[in-house]
Amino acid sequence: MFNLSQHIDALKQSLVGYVLMLAAAIIGLIWISFGIYNWATAMLGPVWGPLAIGAAFMLPVAVYLMAKAFQPDDKRSKQQRMFDQAFAASPVGSLSKMIETMSVHSPFLAAVTAIIGGFVAARFPQFLSILSEFVIAGGEELTRWKTGRAERAAHKASDYERKGAPPPPPDVEPTRKRRGKKVDADFDMYGS
């Protein structure tokens, strides 16, 4: 049976043990630093001895700052990254990522994705991660296709500007011209 007071007592004992161990370590470091100070002043003199000790104590800080400078910037903490990964792996995270991916393209696609994702999450939760990957890949492909189409159109326009010629006329006749010919053809067909 779960006994709360017993768990609190165990926690108090472990906390007291940690505090005592930390205090002993601090006192030991103080005595070691006194010994190092006396040795350094005897070996290096009263000016250079404390400077050498200060430099030795600053060395770990310098190493840490150097490692931090060459490490890629990740502003989030490890705990926040773990929360984000857990959220992305959950059904709610998968659904929100799918909707977010498709809402960039169209609200209709986002609504359809939400409906299909909700159905899959309710009936077949084991397939939700697979569907999520498909939808995210499809959204990225749509984005790539749109940017490629815009780049091709810009390239084509720059080609016409560079050549100095107007773009060629469209291959399809305007609707009004087609309807006029169709009407003329209908009257000719009946012998008018």
- Ranges of each domain in the chain: 1-61, 84-163
Q: Taking the chain (192 residues) in consecutive chunks of 10 residues, what is each chunk's mean pLDDT?
A: 71 80 88 88 89 86 85 72 77 85 88 90 86 89 86 75 64 56 51 52
pLDDT at 107: 87
Cα–Cα distance measured from residue 52 to residue 50, given in angstroms and rounded to the nearest whole number? 5
Question: What totals of helices (H) and strands (E) does the chain contain, helices first?
Answer: 6, 0
Model confidence, pTM: 0.40
pLDDT at 76: 66
The CA-atom distances, in angstroms, between 92 and each of 80, 118, 149 are 17, 9, 33
pLDDT at 64: 86
pLDDT at 169: 63
* 98 touches 128 (CB < 8 A): no
